[in-house]
Structure formats: structure tokens, C-alpha cells
């Protein structure tokens, strides 16, 4: 399965960015596009599975690592990190040591679809972002 980012666009219609993580050129191109979208204020939401009630769960990506083709998600609790690892079949994150900081959870793009939405598509009220 190739990773895909569904890009919601009001004026031009919705598009989809599909790339192969095994091809460095495609992975770098996707990283440039995703990083540019984040810089422009797009919300990129990575699907990480369903919660206990069966509802889809998305987490906002704050970055993208081109070398490993992973979405970077910050600010999750240790419980959320463990739940994501279990849902995606990944190794659980190591226990935090020392100072508390903003931990980064890495979610492989190969294993999750994502949705990108520009600010204009999310409404004009700041609370809607």
C-alpha cells in the first residue's frame, strides 16, 4: 500500500498525493510538499485507528521526516503513544527519562492515510483550527 494524503481544496477540488516510500525521489518530493503545506498552515491529520467506541481517530502531524517517511506528532501523553503503537503494530515508545519535554511520536506514512486541510477549508474562526 502506497501512502496517500488527501488534500481538501475548496477552489480547485480535492486532490491526492500518492508516493512510494521505497523510491527516494518520490519520498523527497512528498516531504517537500508536506513540509510546505505545514508551513503554509495546513492541518495534516494522520489516521491512527479506531478508539474503543469504534470512532476513527486522527492526530495532527507537526512535521514529516523525509529520511524515514514518518509523520511527526508532538504533545501526546505516554498512554496515547502506547495506544498508537499497539494500533499500528509498532514497538512501544521507550520510557521517558530526565526532563519532561515535548516528545515526538513517529508514525510511518506507509501505515496510515492522512487528510490535509487548508485554513480556509476549516472555517474562519480560530477555535475551529
76-107 tens-digit pLDDT: 777 788 887 877 777 776 666 655 556 788 88
Spell out the residues 6+ positions from residue 102 whose beta carbon is closer than 8 angstroms to its own.
Answer: 74, 75
Residue 22, helix vs strand vs coil: coil
Residue 80, helix vs strand vs coil: helix
Residue 78, helix vs strand vs coil: helix
Interval 38-74: pLDDT, tens:
998 899 999 887 777 888 888 899 999 988 889 998 8
Interval 3-37: pLDDT, tens:
789 888 767 778 899 988 888 899 899 999 999 99
HSE-CB for 104 with a 13 A CA cutoff: 10
The confidence band for 111, taking pLDDT boundaries of 50, 70 and 90, is: confident
Indicate the domain borders of the chain: 4-93+100-122
What is the model's pLDDT at position 116?
92
What is the model's pLDDT at position 97?
61
Q: Among residues 60, 15, 31, 67, which one has the least CA distance to residue 6?
A: 15
What is the model's pLDDT at position 77?
78
Amino acid at each position: 500500500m502506497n501512502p496517500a494524503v488527501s488534500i481538501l481544496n475548496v477552489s480547485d477540488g480535492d486532490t491526492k498525493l500518492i508516493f512510494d516510500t521505497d523510491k527516494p525521489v518520490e519520498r523527497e518530493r512528498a516531504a517537500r510538499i508536506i513540509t510546505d503545506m505545514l508551513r503554509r498552515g495546513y492541518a495534516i491529520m494522520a489516521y491512527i485507528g479506531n478508539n474503543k467506541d469504534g470512532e476513527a481517530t486522527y492526530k495532527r502531524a507537526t512535521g514529516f521526516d523525509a529520511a524515514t517517511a514518518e509523520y511527526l506528532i508532538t504533545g501526546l501523553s505516554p498512554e496515547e503513544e502506547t495506544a498508537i503503537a499497539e494500533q499500528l503494530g509498532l514497538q512501544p515508545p521507550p520510557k521517558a527519562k530526565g526532563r519532561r519535554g515535548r516528545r515526538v511520536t513517529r508514525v510511518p506514512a506507509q501505515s496510515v492515510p492522512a487528510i490535509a486541510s487548508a485554513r480556509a477549508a476549516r472555517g474562519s474562526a480560530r477555535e475551529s483550527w
